[in-house]
Amino acid sequence: MKKVRICLLASVVFAGNVLIAQTVEQGQKFLYYERYKSAKETFEKVLASNPNNIDATYWLGQTFLTASSGSGVRDSVAAKALYQKALQTNGSAPLLLVGMGNIELREGKAADAKQRFETAISLSKGKDVEVFNAIGEANADSKNGDAAYAIEKLNQATQVRRFNNPATYTIMGDVYRRLLTDGGNAVLAYQKALGLDPKYAEAKYKIGMIYLSQRNTEYFLPAFEEAVQMDPAYAPAYYELFYYWFYHNDVNKAIGYWDKYFANTDPKPSDDYDRISFMYAAKKYQDCINASQQKISSLGQNADPKYYKLVAYCYSDQGDSVDAKNFLAQYFSKQKEDEFIPQDYTFYAQVLSKFKGNDSLVSINYQQAIAHDTVQEDKLNYAKEASDVAKKLGNAKMSADWLRVLYNMDKNPTNADLYKVGYAYYRAADYQTADSIFCGVYEQKYPNEIYGYLWCAKSKVAQDDSLGSKGTAVDAYTKLAEYARSSPDSAKYKSQILESYFYLAGYSNNVKKDKEAAISYLKKILEVDPENSTAKQYLDILDKPVKQAAQKPRSKASR
C-alpha cells in the first residue's frame, strides 16, 4: 500500500508539474503571437500558485521587456526587479542568470552580462537549448549585443542532442537582421526554422519584414500572406497586411485584414487609433477629426500623441495648412523621441514649407527623416524631395545643398548627377562652390568630357569683375580650348573653342596690354572659323596701328 501511495503521490505531483508546464507553455504561445496582456496574466497566475517557478519568472520578465501589460511600452525596470528578487532564492537558475544578463546588456554592462551567460551555460552543462536561445535573444534585442557571440551560442544549441527547435534559427535570423543588417543570412536562418517546422509562421513573417525593409512588394506581401495561411492565428502578419493596404488606398481590404488581426490579438489602446484612422483612409475627414479630438479630450495627458498627427493629416488633405501645422507642432511636443518615424519629419517639412521663413526648419526635418530611416533608397528620396521643396521655395542655394547631399549618399552617382550639383550651385550664384565642383572634382573624375572644363571656366568668370580684370578664368579657358581642339569631337565643340579664344584675346589686349598675344588668339579663332567676322574686325583694329607705325617716315632728327 505504501508503494502504491508513493506512486500515486508521485503521479499527482507529476500531473501538477505538467499542468504548470502547460500553463507556462500557453504563456509562451501568447508571447509568440504578441498577445502580451494574455502572456503577462498567464505567467502571473502561474507564479501566484508557485512563486518559485523559474520558467514563469523568466518569461514574465521577457514579457515586460517586450511590451508590458499589453500597453506596447517596455518596462525594463519591472523586469530587473523581478529577476533580482528571484535570484535571491534561486541564484543558480540558468534562465534567471540569462534574464539578468539581458538587463545588464541593455544597461551597457556587456562584460557582466557575458559572465552571467557563461555561468548559465556552465550550470546547464551546455545542453539546454532554451538557455542558448535566451542568450541569443538577449543579444539580438539590445543595441549593445554581440552578434558573433550570439551566433556562436546559437550554433552550439543546434549541436545539442535531438535538437529540433525552430526558435533557435529564428533568433539567429534576428541577430543577422538587427545587429548585422545582413538580410541574406537572416533569410537563410529563417528558412532553416521553417525546415524544422513548416508551419512556423514567425519565420515566414520575419522573412517578409526583411523584404518590407527593402520595399520589395513582390516578396513581402506573399510572405505575409503565406504566414497567415501557415497559422491563421498569427496576428502580426495580419497587421502588416492591414497596414499595407491602408496606406495603398484599399480601405475594404485593409478592414478585412484588420478584422482578422483584431480577432487574434489582445485589445490595446492603439486599437481605437487604428479604427479612427479608417475614417481618414475613407476621406471622412471631419468624422476623423471629431473622433480624434474626442479621444484627446477624454484621455488628456494619456492620449496617444498620434491622434494629433492624424488630425494634422486630415487638415492637410483639405488644404488647411494652418491647422495642420498647429496639430503637428503639438504632436512633436508630446511624442517620445523613439516613437517618431521618418514620414513624421517629411510631413512636417512639407507643412512648414507652406509658410515663409521656415526654410531652415524644413531642412532640419528632412535631415531628421534621413537619420531615422535605415533604407538607402528612402534616404535618397528624402534628399531629392528636400531639393525639390527648396526649389519651390525659391531657395536655390538650399536646393543645391540638398542635391549635394543626394550625390554624396548615392553609392553609384553618375556624371550627370555631379553636373546637376555643380550647375545648381552656379544657378544659385554660389560660384565658388560651383568652381570647386567643376574644377576640383568633375575635371579630375571625368577628364574626357567637356562639361567640367566648360563650367569650370564659366564659374571662374562669374567670380571676376565685369571687365575680367582679375583674369580668374585664363587657365580654365586655356584648358577648355586645348581639350576641345584635341578632342575627336572638336567640330562639335566649335562654339566652346571660340568662346575660349575670345576671352583670352580680350584679356590679353584689355588687361595685360599684350596685343601680340591677343592677335595670336584671334588668329586661332580664324583657324577654327575662317569666316568669323568678329575676329577679323578685331584683328584688323589691332593690326592697323602696328602697320601705321611701320610705314611712318623717319624724322630728320633721326637720320
Q: Which pTM value belongs to this model?
A: 0.72
Provide long-range contacts, Cβ within 8 A and 24+ apart, for 275-280: 276/307, 276/310, 277/246, 277/310, 278/246, 278/251, 278/254, 280/310, 280/313, 280/314, 280/317
Cell of 141: 534585442
State whether residue 429 is helix, strand or coil. coil
| Residue 471 one-letter amino acid | G
Cell of 506: 580680350
CATH of domain 470-553: 1.25.40
Task: From 385, 309, 391, select the one nearest 350 (Cα to Cα).
Answer: 385
CA-CA distance, 178 to 188, in Å (whole number)? 15
Task: From 340, 396, 328, 389, select the one nearest 368 (Cα to Cα).
Answer: 340
| Residue 95 one-letter amino acid | L
Q: What is the DSSP letter of 412?
A: S
Which residue stretches of 141-267 are H helix? 147-157, 166-174, 183-196, 201-213, 217-230, 235-246, 251-263
Asked whether the beta carbons of 274 and 258 are under 8 A apart, the reply is: yes
Q: Which residues of 251-278 are buried (b: 16+ CB within 10 A; e: fewer)?
A: beebbebbebbbebbbebeeebbbebbb
| Residue 432 one-letter amino acid | Q
Task: From 184, 189, 185, select the one nearest 204 (Cα to Cα).
Answer: 189
Which residues on neighbouring strands pair with residue 68, listed in sequence order? 73
Per-residue pLDDT of the chain (559 residues; tens, 9 = 90+): 333 333 332 333 333 334 444 589 999 999 999 999 999 999 999 999 999 999 999 999 999 998 644 444 578 899 999 999 999 999 999 999 999 999 999 999 999 999 999 999 999 999 999 999 999 999 999 989 999 999 999 999 999 999 999 999 999 999 999 999 899 999 999 999 999 999 999 999 999 999 998 889 999 999 999 999 999 999 999 999 998 998 887 888 988 999 999 999 998 888 899 889 989 988 999 999 999 999 999 999 999 999 999 999 999 999 999 999 999 999 999 999 889 999 999 999 999 999 999 999 999 999 999 999 888 889 999 999 999 999 999 999 999 999 999 999 999 999 999 999 999 999 999 999 999 999 999 999 999 999 999 999 999 999 999 888 999 999 999 999 999 999 999 999 999 999 999 999 999 999 999 999 999 999 999 999 999 999 999 999 998 754 444 444 444 433 3
CA-CA distance, 461 to 463, in Å (whole number)? 5
CA-CA distance, 522 to 509, in Å (whole number)? 11
